[in-house]
Amino acid sequence: MDFGLQGKKAIVLAASKGLGKAAAEALASEGCALAICARNAEPLQKTARAINKQYQVPVFTGTVDIHDKTNLESFLEESIGKMGGVDILVTNAGGPPVKGFEETTDEEWAYWYEITFMGVVRSIRKVLPHMKKQKFGRIINITSISVKAPVERLIYSNALRLAVVGLAKSLSAELGPLGITVNNVAPGYHLTDGLERIVRKRVEGGESREAVFAQWENKIPIRRIGRPEDLAFLIAFLASERASYITGTTIQVDGGLYSGTL
């Protein structure tokens, strides 16, 4: 399906691998110019070259630690300058560690607040003037199924990602009259490094890898772990004109795992 994104300009954070990479690929497949970032330069450049070769779209890159305010804001400013504007922002970041509440520290709460919440705030702040001027914009935050139902031993994610949902809902009301939509996507169990961290912790606790995956798959109505692209094409849709009447929503992509009605 042609989503009408040819020539649009998109920024995707934490896009060297996993869900961010899949989102960048989906947008590139629709003809978007891209600016992508990640902490590690080598996998980032490899991803950029592969996307450019396959989809023949410009791909700008920046080595960015989202925790570093100056680093993040410089990347955003430079990307907008190089692309000549911005139409789409996809916020994303590596997930917090697997921990229960009593294992947490003030220092870690502050660190993950900066990444999980303030990284979103700062990114939106940078793109807004351009989106407001053109009266068009798509802001899509990659969160987690934990915003719908807390995930065991993901205390930082369970708490901090809900702040992103509240921010997005508030912004959708403020920015809707300006032609800018703000939505969240909430992945469940997808084959990413973040999922591997959870698996490793459970294996360290005495479970087998096979048993962990079997337990998850048996809980998921679709009976499989998600692929990054299962989330990515929803992001491409939400970025398009086809989704112009959708804003302020949080859409889970979890194979039916979440059992709530809302």
pLDDT digits (tens, 9 = 90+) for 139-162: 999 999 999 999 988 999 999 999
* Contact yes or no for 30/5 (Cβ under 8 A): yes
Instruction: Report d(CA 164, CA 184) in Å as an integer.
Output: 8
SS3 95: coil
Helix, strand, coil percentages (3-state) for the chain, rounded to 5, are: 55, 15, 30
Residue 66's closest CA among 58, 57, 75, 55?
75
Strand 33-38's sheet: what is its strand order?
Answer: 59-63, 33-38, 9-12, 88-91, 137-142, 180-187, 250-253
Q: Is 151 exposed, middle or buried (0-12, 13-18, 19+ CB in 10 A)?
A: middle
- Extract the tokens encoding 57: 């779209």
SS3 135: coil
- Extract the tokens encoding 8: 């649009």
- Mean pLDDT, residues 221-237: 96
DSSP one-letter string for 128-149: HHHHHHHT-EEEEEE--GGGTS
pTM given for the model: 0.95
Give the largest Cα separation in the chain, rounded. Answer: 56
Q: For the chain, what is the mean pLDDT?
A: 95
Q: Which domains does the chain show, CATH number per domain?
A: 9-189+227-253 (3.40.50.720)
SS3 64: coil
Instruction: Report d(CA 247, CA 234) in Å as an integer.
Output: 14
* Contact yes or no for 20/43 (Cβ under 8 A): no
* 108, pLDDT greater than 90: yes
- Mean pLDDT, residues 231-237: 97
Q: What pLDDT digit, counting tens, does each position of 58-78 carry? A: 999 999 999 999 999 999 999
Terminal-to-terminal C-alpha distance of the chain: 28
Share of the chain above pLDDT 70, in %: 100
